Amino acid sequence: MRSEARGQRPEVGGAHASRVQFDASRVEHSNQPFFRTEERVAHLLFTAELWRGTPWCANSDARGPRGGVSCHNLPRAIYLECGALRESFPKIVGDPNASRHATESAMEKYIDARPEFLRLLPSDLRSPISDLRAGDLLGLRIYNVCDHLGLYLGNGVFVHVLMHKNTDFDMVHTPPWQQRIIAAWRLLDLPL
């Protein structure tokens, strides 16, 4: 249930404790998280708010009420606007219904193979999450596999868009999302 429907809008920033373990030893000194400064996090929050209300549209990434965006291209678009990814980072395209009967996640394999991302959570995790940082990419299970992406903003809030809905903020620690987060990746600050 969206917190807005209960008369509250999720707020970003703040101190929610978390339990996701980030293994800093796996990151070279020059490959720190991209969203490690207050300025970068502020830009992320500002950009995510600009996308709020953008309707879902398969394989798209055009911001605003006359635009449209898919769940897998929303994080890419926000990362691009924040200067965190190269313009050449590929847009993900495909049948939005293809994952309904899948036994493996093509999206999860794709992100795992990208040098820009460091995996934080195992794909079989079914417990509450924590230690996420603003800018972390969330992999969620809507059907059988990781088939939905969201972008963590801090304070327990993430931005995402569901099929036939508008882009919005939700809370990671509330049903149904807490049980659906099965993977997370940290975007690294690689040279552009």
Q: What is the pLDDT of residue 10?
A: 53
What pLDDT is recorded for position 21?
Answer: 42
pLDDT for position 131 = 79
The dihedral over CA atoms of 171, 172, 174, 176, expressed in degrees to the nearest 10, equals: 110
Q: What is the model's pLDDT at position 122?
A: 64
Residues 6+ apart with CB under 8 A from 39: none
pLDDT of the residue at 93: 77
| CATH of the domain spanning 31-91+100-187, picked from 3.20.20.70, 1.10.238.10, 3.90.1720.10, 1.10.10.10 | 3.90.1720.10
Which residues of the chain fall short of a pLDDT of 50? 1-9, 13-29, 124, 126-128
**pLDDT score, position 5:** 41
Give the pLDDT confidence score for residue 67 in this predicted structure.
96
**In contact, 150 and 159? CB cutoff 8 Å:** yes
Q: What is residue 3's predicted lDDT score, i.e. its pLDDT?
A: 39
